[in-house]
Structure 1
Amino acid sequence: MNTTVNTKKNQKTSSLMSIRSLIIMTMLGTISVILMKLAIPVWFAPPWYELDLSEVPVLIGAFTLGPIGGIIIEMIKILLNLVIDFTITAGVGETANFLMGCSLVVPAAIIYHRNKTLKSAIKGLIVGTFSMVIIAGLLNAFVLLPTYAYFFKMPVDSLIETGSKINPAIKNMSTMIFYAVTPFNLLKGSLVSIVTLLTYKRIRRAINTIMGI
């Protein structure tokens, strides 16, 4: 009898935690969308590379709820952004944002959850940043920029030309990746990591209160 009661109680607690987790993920996803709207261009890259802090809430959620939670928050962010603004990039920008975000968040969260210390958090964020830099370079060169050019019926060279007007060092796809995509993602990963480390503990306390932990 006691076993049955305990089982039902555990199921109820688990269900409540799931609902609270979903609420937190939705809240963090919403904050991420707001931060996306505060994006600013960088001086060394084409205008479609804009710097924002939208990955900070995603990272905090992933550190709190695990890498799967981070992926869900990332997805919520993208879906909410599509609802608000639809898309002006034929979905290429949204796909890029999701993949880049996951390439940062997932490795960082996996490493942090192995040993929840400041050292692990820093290590995870460093690995996540370099993961994002590598994935971003490959995807931009072989998938995202060619796909963007295809959907808008323009040669890839037009995108390179746009980049060269802002950064004269950009002359072809290789230099686009080396002088624009790589430094952009290094800057973004570093900035997002610093802000996450500075704000995580305070926001984690608020999340724990909501979760009833």
Structure 2
Amino acid sequence: MSQTKQKTIFNVNYLVKVAILGAVARVVMLLEFPLPFFPSFLQLDFSDLVPLMGSFAMGPLAGVLIQLVKCLLHLVTGGIGATGGVGDLANFIVGAAFVGAAGLYYKYHKTKSGAVISLLLGSLTMIVAGGIVNYFITIPLYGLAMDWSEEMILGMSSDVIPAIKDRFTLILYAFCPFNLLKSVILVIITLPVYKPLVTALRSIHKT
């Protein structure tokens, strides 16, 4: 078999696996739920685990692409009606920051300590990216896509967290703690299971 043909088959297999894992992540996303101590528009789910495993097994680009497939599938199966696509945009950027940073570090440090550091790095990146994206992009876009004024969003949020007074405190007391909590849970779930899952994904990736 020629090198060009082998490369073509590899690329097709790579894309198929990315698509399958993206679909699996979308299914996991169906289990999202609100938390009583955060505004109702912040929904917790663990679908980032799938692109994270893909990132560890196939590289950071694969993790980002899996995240993209997941968000696109959510968008076309009801996401537009829920948030006008704004939530999916934020989900993709923040999730991609998490799996991309974690996967990039793990690519060069494939040890137990490397996994821990990669997850901590990914968590920090997710929290920072979430704060920036929501402050400058998500909150303003909600007003355009959903006709939600910033005052309405702040009102919904301050009903749950009275310390929220403006956009900055919304990020500080809602989005950042939410992403911190989510990242802690993801780290706790990932550390005991990542090795066998990544090994299995790598064996499939090589076929």
**TM-score > 0.5 by shorter chain:** yes
Determine the structure 1 residue equivalent to 2:11: 18
1:82 equivalent to 2:75? Answer yes
1:114 equivalent to 2:97? Answer no
Determine the structure 1 residue equivalent to 2:194: 200
State the alpha-carbon separation in 2 of the partners of residues 33 and 108 from structure 1: 20
State the alpha-carbon separation in 1 of the partners of residues 133 and 200 from structure 2: 36
1:142 equivalent to 2:136? Answer yes
CA deviation digits over 1:21-66, x for unaligned, max 9? 2222122111111111101112222111111111001000011111
- Quickly say closer, same or farther: Cα 1:212–1:107, change in 2 above 3 A: closer
Amino acid at match of 1:177: I
Which stretch shifts more, 71-80 or 150-159? 150-159
User: Sequence identity of aligned pairs in percent?
Assistant: 33
Equivalenced residue count is 206
Structure 2 counterpart SS, 1:144: helix
Partners of 1:24 and 1:207 within 8 A in 2 = no
Q: Which blocks of at least 5 consecutive residues in structure 1 are unaligned?
A: none
Determine the structure 2 residue equivalent to 1:48: 41
State the alpha-carbon separation in 2 of the partners of residues 177 and 103 from structure 1: 17
Which stretch shifts more, 51-60 or 18-27? 18-27
1:34 equivalent to 2:27? Answer yes
State the alpha-carbon separation in 2 of the partners of residues 15 and 139 from structure 1: 36
CA deviation digits over 1:106-147, x for unaligned, max 9? 111111111211111111111111111111112212211111
State the alpha-carbon separation in 1 of the partners of residues 23 and 58 from structure 2: 16
Structure 1 counterpart SS, 2:28: helix
Larger CA Rg, structure 1 vs 2 = 1
State the alpha-carbon separation in 1 of the partners of residues 16 and 120 from structure 2: 29
Task: Report matched runs for 1:165-176 at 5 Å.
Answer: 165-176=159-170
Partners of 1:45 and 1:163 within 8 A in 2 = yes
| TM-score, normalised via structure 1 length | 0.89
State the alpha-carbon separation in 2 of the partners of residues 86 and 136 from structure 1: 19
State the alpha-carbon separation in 2 of the partners of residues 138 and 40 from structure 1: 24
State the alpha-carbon separation in 2 of the partners of residues 136 and 86 from structure 1: 19
CA deviation digits over 1:138-172, x for unaligned, max 9? 22122111110233334201100000112222222
- Quickly say closer, same or farther: Cα 1:212–1:69, change in 2 above 3 A: closer
Partners of 2:57 and 2:199 within 8 A in 1 = no
State the alpha-carbon separation in 2 of the partners of residues 138 and 125 from structure 1: 20
Partners of 2:58 and 2:202 within 8 A in 1 = no
State the alpha-carbon separation in 1 of the partners of residues 9 and 205 from structure 2: 9
Q: What displacement does 1:86 show?
A: 4.4
Q: What's the C-alpha RMSD, in Å, of the aligned pairs?
A: 1.7
1:100 equivalent to 2:97? Answer no
Q: What displacement does 1:191 show?
A: 1.2
Determine the structure 2 residue equivalent to 1:187: 181
